[in-house]
Amino acid sequence: MSWLKNWTWPTRLRDKGIIGMNRRNIRYIGRYNRRRLYPLVDDKLKTKLLAQQYGITTPELIGTVTTQFGVKHISEMLAGHGGFVIKPAKGSGGKGILVIEHVDEDGFIKPSGMRQSITDIERHVSNILSGLYSLGGSPDVALIETLINFDESLMDYTYEGVPDIRVIVFKGYPVMAMMRLSTAASDGKANLHQGAVGVGLNIATGAALRAVQFDMPCFSHPDTGHDLASLVVPQWDTLLHLAAGCYEMTGLGYLGTDMVLDREHGPMLLELNARPGLAIQMTNGEGLRRRLDLIEQQPDNVPTIERVAFAQHHFARQSELVESKDTSSANA
Amino acid sequence: MSRLMFYIIVGFLLVVGIASSVHRHVQFEIPWLPGEQRQVWEIEAGITFNAQNGPVQVDMALPSHQAGYRVLTENTASSGYGLAYQADELGRTAQWTIRNAAGSQQLYYSVQMLVSQDARSPIQTPPTLTAATPWESPYDSAASQLIEQAWARSANNATFARELIRDLNGERQEESARLLLSQEAPAALVVRLLNQSGVLAREVSGLILEDGRRRQTLSSWIQVFAADGEQWSIFNPATGEQGKPDNLLLWETGGRAVLEVQGGTNSRVSFSMMTHDQPASAAVRNHYSDDTLLNFSIHSLPLEEQALFQTILLIPIGALMVVLLRVLVGLKTSGTFMPVLIALAFIQISLTTGLIGFLLIVAMGLIIRNYLSYLNLLLVARVSAVIITVIAIISIFTVLAYRMGLSAGLTITFFPMIILAWTIERMSILWEEEGPKQVLIQGGGSLVTAVLAYLAMNNPWVRHITFNFLGVQLILMALILLLGNYTGYRLLELRRFKPITDDEKLS
């Protein structure tokens, strides 16, 4: 019965408070996310403009391409920018995001070192416009943003790509957080199913709790070899307040916020997700159920500061990485 | 409150669905199991003529119950015409009448004949022997010579007819036979010679049934009665073969004209036909169907639409399979309901050919699509190019299969090409972005779903139930609504979240 080893019982998952896809869809997304609010987060351009309105920092916009005619002028738009990111406004799951780390005379260089010509870039933008990466294949807009200079303290924990921080915000309370570190396997993208390392974060401090790659626990970054136990996200309180503020900004009750840490600008909102995935439970080694149940009992209209404080108080946890490794680096 | 409404609706659907199914089972004696299949022929006669600005009367002979065939239902389409069915001892006729008609006219009559081994012909009234018109010289001596020869070589009426026909055809054809054939058509000549010798016989019209034939005409056959006037047999006027071929439907057996048009010119009638199998119960029930509200059923529709609905009513079964596999199992597919459409194609093609064809087309498509991605095309243009590629691949495979004598390859054209093109496009993007593993997972998931949906939809019992009990659709609806409310874990999540439960054991 060796093949049964990879399976577990529904009761065990329920005891752990794990939320399945069906429950997430019906019980949380269906109940707390009103359909008409989706465009606010499904369109990154709208999210960005809204965020500026609410004083939430986002990466600087170099420009947008809205017509196939505009594709021809993209080289003029890119002139003078060392690194940039091209993304579809309505893309999902990180699809269609092209990161160019720096530019030289010969062309554009991706974080992996792969060289792209201007034709490649134009083709990519053209694909975005015709809706290749958008939900339902509808015509789309391409956003060009400046490359994020991510915080140096995090440099050792990532390979080629920008590590981003996913915070699940439920009714305005940050309930669970993780950091996604890109690896060689994930081609510089911070997508867990492509092989990025997911690090569960303590809501109270922003310190690493536990790390997984391909759903299996790991203790160091597979490419840099850096110990993950020492990982603590700087400016954690600011980041949580920013994430929690997205509830007022969008009105969506069950929200996935993707944040990055910029060297100069601090925490920035990268994008929002109205259907955040469940992998965060794997990285935290804990189900969402108990935390969500607790938040559901809380009254509405609580100010952001109080919500963040409540979450930091109730959802604090001990690091599993530290327990299994040395205890001295807990506050590094 | 809304939960309560939900369960009330689901309960209502279940109760109505079950009740209407039980009602149909009890009231119309439709069995829950499919039982044996019976062959049914659908034959359509189209009458065309030019009306001459005045009253028109059209009489057409109609087929009756006969050995091997039983009339199930008949319909006519004739706008503005009065219609009456008439029957006498010589057979049935339909009579269309109109006070004023001009120009080209078209009348349609269609009949469903059930192939039934135990069907018997009604008692045939033998024709009365009229005084034969005498032959003119030199035909009289030629006729009597033929009759004498055949008479000498025969023992009874049937063998006499057989010999006579052989004398008039083929190698034994003599001078006298050729002389007489210059005067009359073979069938009419045989009947005239038989009558001249005091044998009761007449010319009847029959239709050779072949599936999918159009613009067919009736052929002449000779009915010869034995001396007692009750036994009779059918002869082929060209070969002298005795007996009715199995696929011969006698259309007119009274020796009268099949079509008579008064007030019109250039009249002609042509026949088209098709065959299909249907459950014996349904075939017999057709015979007694009456149009009440509770008898609301697909069977009241014309046959062509029924065949269409047979497929349409299966789609909810496929949808249910998709819901089951996605909600309860958590299988990933490329395109939510694409597997259902593929499964529908499998039903037409058969599973093995379908699977091979699908894999060949998608694999070829992916290779060509890979090249297309270098051409830097707009999405719509690229997908259109993929559609044309898919059509080209299908054409090439069909021709190759035909050349190699694989008739199964010809059915590959049943694949929904646009859907295939989108599948190829989506898989190609998936390949570029997530690598071949995801393509295999999603492609495999789609194929597994398609095969399971096919097995469910092609099951004879499922086909019988969905086609005969419309209430089942409501039950399916209720089931899908309930599944849409399922918040439990998916089967594959038991594996996905397994690592979390491991930790508990460690600590």
Q: Can you tell me whether residue A9 is helix, strand or coil?
A: coil
Q: How far is A181 from A192, CA to CA, in rounded Å?
A: 9
Contact A7 B495 (CB under 8 A): yes
* B103 in contact with chain A, both atoms CB, cutoff 8 A: no
State the average pLDDT for chain A.
Answer: 84
Q: C-alpha distances in angstroms, B335 versus A1, A131, B366, B447?
A: 34, 16, 16, 11
The residue-averaged pLDDT of A1-9 equals 75
CB of B375 within 8 Å of any CB in chain A?
no
E strand intervals along A182-311: 197-201, 208-213, 216-217, 254-262, 266-273
Q: Give bridge partners of residue A98 from the DSSP assignment.
A: A86
Residue B161, domain member (yes or no): no
Instruction: Name the domain count of chain B.
Output: 1
Confidence band for A171, pLDDT divided at 50, 70 and 90 = very high
* B335 neighbors B393 (Cβ within 8 angstroms): no
pLDDT for residue B450: 93
| Minimum Cα–Cα distance from A68: chain B residue | B378
The answer to whether B495 contacts A286, with C-beta atoms less than 8 Å apart, is: no
Q: Return the pLDDT at B53.
A: 87
pLDDT of residue A24: 92
Using alpha carbons, list the distances in angstroms from residue B276 to A236, B42, B211, B284: 73, 8, 9, 14
Q: Which residue of A has its CA nearest to B373?
A: A123
Length of chain A: 332
pTM of the model: 0.65
CA B49 → CA A305, B215, B265, distances in Å? 90, 15, 6
Query: Is residue A328 predicted with pLDDT exceeding 70?
Result: no
Q: Cis peptide before B138, with omega less than 30 degrees from 0?
A: yes
pLDDT digits 0-9 by tens, A57-76: 898 888 899 888 888 888 88
Q: Which chain B residues are Cβ-neighbours of A130 within 8 angstroms? A: 378-380
Q: Which residue of B has its CA nearest to A128?
A: B379
The per-residue pLDDT for range A125-148, each reduced to its tens digit, is: 988 888 878 766 678 899 999 888
CA–CA dist B67, B206 (Å, integer) = 13
pLDDT tens-digit readout, A60-117: 888 899 888 888 888 888 888 888 889 998 877 677 888 888 888 878 888 778 888 8
Q: For residue A176, what are the β-bridge partners?
A: A168
Cβ atoms of residues B112 and B41 within 8 Å: yes
* B residues 267..326 contacting A (CB < 8 A): none
Of residues A147, A151, A102, the one with CA closest to residue A264: A151
Please tell me the number of Cα atoms within 13 Å of B314 on its side-chain side.
24
**Pick among A2, A3, A8 to test the B interface (most B CBs inside 10 A):** A8
Per-residue pLDDT tens digits of chain B, which is 507 residues long: 578 899 999 999 999 999 988 988 877 667 777 766 677 888 888 899 998 888 999 999 988 888 888 887 788 877 788 888 888 877 888 999 999 888 888 888 888 888 877 777 777 777 777 666 777 777 888 888 888 888 888 888 888 888 888 888 776 677 778 888 887 888 888 888 888 888 888 888 898 888 777 788 888 888 888 877 778 888 888 887 888 888 888 888 887 888 989 988 888 888 888 777 666 655 555 544 444 544 556 666 665 667 777 788 889 999 999 999 999 998 888 778 888 988 988 888 888 888 888 898 889 899 988 888 788 777 788 888 988 988 898 888 888 887 877 666 666 677 788 888 888 888 888 887 777 888 888 889 999 999 999 999 988 888 888 888 888 999 999 999 999 989 889 998 888 888 877 764 444
What is the predicted pLDDT for the residue at A326?
43
A45 close to A88: Cβ distance less than 8 angstroms: no
Backbone angles phi, psi at B118, to 5 degrees: -90, 5
- The phi-psi region of residue B233 (left if phi > 0; otherwise alpha if psi is between -120 and 50; otherwise beta) is beta
Nearest to A231 by CA among A204, A267, A199: A199
3-state secondary structure B113-129: EEECCCCCCCCCCCCCC
Give the whole-angstrom CA distance, residue B455 versus residue B347. Answer: 9
Compute how many other C-beta atoms are within 10 angstroms of the C-beta atom of residue B83. Answer: 13
From A6-20, A44-58, A152-166, B401-415, the region with the lowest mean pLDDT: B401-415
Range of the domain at B396: 309-494
Per CB-CB distance under 8 Å, the chain B contacts of A26 are 485-487
End-to-end CA distance of chain B: give it in Å, rounded.
44
Residue B339 maps to a domain: yes
The residue with tokens 């010509």 is: A117
Residue A186 pLDDT greater than 80, yes or no: no
The total of other beta-carbon atoms located within 10 Å of residue B141's CB is 12
For residue A50, what are its two tokens?
Answer: 């809204």
Residue at B41 is within a domain:
no
**Does residue B112 form part of some domain?**
no
Instruction: Say which of A13, A22, A95 has its CB closest to residue B501.
Output: A13
Distance, CA of A312 to CA of B334 (rounded, Å): 41
Q: What region, left, alpha or beta, does residue B132 occupy, with left being phi > 0 and alpha being psi -120 to 50 degrees?
A: beta
**DSSP 3-state percent helix, strand, coil across chain A (nearest 5):** 35, 25, 40
Q: Residues of chain A whose C-beta is under 8 A from some C-beta in B?
A: 6-10, 12-13, 16, 18, 20-23, 26-27, 68, 95, 119, 122-123, 126-127, 130-132, 137, 193-194, 212, 215-217, 281-282, 285-287, 320
DSSP line for B171-212: GG--HHHHHHHTTS-HHHHHHHHHHHTT--EEEEEEEE--TT
Single out the residue of A241, A246, A255, A257 nearest to residue A51, CA to CA: A246
pLDDT score, position B283: 57
What is residue B232's predicted lDDT score, i.e. its pLDDT? Answer: 83
**Residues on chain B touching A216 (C-beta within 8 angstroms):** 499
The continuous run of DSSP H or E covering B277 comes out as: strand B264-279
Residue A239 in contact with residue A259, Cβ under 8 Å? yes
Contact A13 B489 (CB under 8 A): yes
Q: A176-213 as b/e, with b when 16 or more CB fall inside 10 Å? A: bbbbbbbbebbbbbbbbebbbbbbbbbbebbbbbbbbb
Compare A325 and A279 and report the one with higher pLDDT.
A279
Question: What confidence score (pLDDT) does residue A329 get?
Answer: 41
Strands B232-235 and B219-225: antiparallel
Whether residue B373 lies inside any domain: the answer is yes
Residues in chain B: 507
> For the packed helices B471-483 and B2-27, what is the interaxial angle rounded to 10 degrees?
150
Set of chain A residues whose Cβ sits within 8 Å of the Cβ of B327: 22
DSSP class per residue in B22-86: HHHHHHS---SS---EEEEEEEEEEEEEEEEEEEEEEEEEE---BTTEEEEEEEEE-TT-EEEEE
The pLDDT value given to residue A38: 87
CB distance B470 to B22 below 8 Å? no
How far is it, in rounded angstroms, from Cα A250 to Cα A40? 7
Q: Report which secondary-structure segment, H or E, holds A181.
A: strand A173-181
Of the candidates B507, B495, B487, the residue with the CA atom closest to the CA atom of residue A8: B495
Q: What is the pLDDT of residue B506?
A: 45
CA–CA gap between residue A65 and residue A46 (Å, rounded) = 14
Tell me the longest C-alpha to C-alpha distance in chain B. 121
Structure tokens at A103: 């530019």
DSSP assignment, residue B299? Answer: G
Query: In chain A, whose CA is at the least distance from the CA of B430?
Result: A95
Degrees, nearest 5: CA angle A35-A39-A40: 110
SS3 call for B342: helix
* SS3 labels along B147-170: HHHHHHCCCCHHHHHHHHHHHHCH
Domains of chain A: 19-41+151-324 (3.30.470.20), 60-146 (3.30.1490)
Q: Which residues of A touch B493 (CB under 8 A)?
A: 13, 18, 20-21
Residue B148 counted as domain residue: no
User: Smallest Cα–Cα separation from B112: which of B60, B65, B47, B59?
Assistant: B65
Residue A175 near residue A204 (C-beta atoms within 8 A): no
Which residues, listed in sequence order, are joined to residue B378 by a DSSP beta bridge? none
**CA–CA distance, B125 with B471 (Å, rounded to integer):** 48
Would the CB atoms of B487 and A26 count as touching at under 8 Å? yes
**Which two three-digit tokens encode residue B385?**
């190019």
Residue at token pair 């006070």 = B99
End-to-end Cα separation, chain A, in angstroms: 45
> In this structure, are residues A288 and A281 in contact, taking their beta carbons and an 8 Å threshold?
yes
Residue whose tokens read 């986002």: A58
